[in-house]
């Protein structure tokens, strides 16, 4: 049985959101690593695999959609929870087509996020994306 603390990657260009989510995750007994953009996160994936990714869609540079595409292209099947301020049906459909199971609206309710992370890391531990 794996007793290590799950690692959650938080990718968001807004520093205040990264800090708030990191505090929330640590208070919930999870480990958190934050990234200000998709490029830094993709570089991190070359050496470390988090148990779950909390991913903002709209960031400068490698945005959330680019991150999802690059992860799929590289064969990474990590659970991803998208957070976004974009409520458009087009964005929601595009997110779901990429295989993301949870898409939460900003500002993100902390308990709702934790409720989405729990089954994601459990499924990942059992080998499901």
Reported as a single tens digit per residue, the pLDDT across 59-105 is 998 999 999 999 999 998 899 999 999 888 998 888 989 889 899 99
Q: Is residue 102 within 8 Å of 82, Cβ to Cβ?
A: yes
Instruction: Give SS3 for 21.
Output: helix
- How many CB atoms within 10 Å of residue 50? 24
Average predicted confidence (pLDDT) for the chain = 92
More confident residue, 123 or 61: 61
pLDDT value, residue 128: 63
Q: Is the dihedral of CA 16, 20, 23, 26 positive or negative?
A: negative
Q: What percent of the chain has pLDDT over 70?
A: 95
Cut 0.85: pTM above it:
yes
Q: Give me the residue spans of the domains in the chain.
A: 8-125
CATH 3.30.1360.200, domain 8-125, yes or no: no
State how far the alpha carbon of 28 is from the alpha carbons of 64, 114, 118, in Å: 25, 8, 10
Lowest mean pLDDT among 30-39, 70-79, 117-126: 117-126
Cis bond upstream, residue 99 (ω within 30): no
Chain position carrying tokens 């064969």: 75
Angle between helix 15-27 and helix 110-125 axes, rounded to 10 deg = 70
């Amino acid at each position: 049985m794996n007793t290590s603390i799950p690692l959650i990657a938080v990718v968001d260009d807004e520093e205040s959101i990264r800090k708030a989510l990191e505090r929330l995750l640590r208070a919930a007994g999870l480990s958190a690593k934050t990234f200000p953009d998709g490029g830094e996160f993709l570089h991190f994936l070359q050496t470390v695999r988090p148990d779950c990714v909390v991913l903002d869609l709209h960031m400068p540079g490698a945005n959330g959609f680019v991150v999802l595409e690059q992860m799929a292209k590289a064969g990474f099947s990590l659970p991803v929870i998208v957070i976004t301020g974009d409520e458009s049906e087009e964005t929601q459909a595009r997110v779901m087509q990429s295989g993301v199971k949870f898409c939460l609206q900003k500002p993100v309710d902390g308990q709702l996020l934790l409720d989405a992370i729990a089954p994601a890391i459990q499924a990942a531990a059992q080998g499901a994306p």
